[in-house]
Amino acid sequence: MSRTHTVIASPVGDLTAVAEDGVLSGLYFERHRRGPKPERLGTYSEQGFDEVRRQLAEYFAGERTGFELPLAPQGDEFQQRVWGMLRRIPFGETRSYGQLARELGDVSLAQEVGAANARNPLSVIVPCHRVVGADGSLKGYAGGLDRKRFLLDLEETAVREPVKP
Asked if 108 is an active-site residue, the reply is: no
Q: Select from 45, 26, 30 the least CA-distant residue to 83.
A: 26
As a whole number of angstroms, the distance between CA 114 and CA 98 comes to 9
Q: What DSSP letter does each residue of 41-100 carry, written as one string?
A: S-EE-STT-HHHHHHHHHHHTT--SS----B-----HHHHHHHHHHHTSPTT--EEHHHH
Q: Are 163 and 61 in contact (CB under 8 A)?
A: yes
CB 86 within 8 A of CB 131: yes
Residue from 128, 151, 152, 158 carrying the catalytic annotation: 128
Please list the active-site residues.
Answer: 128
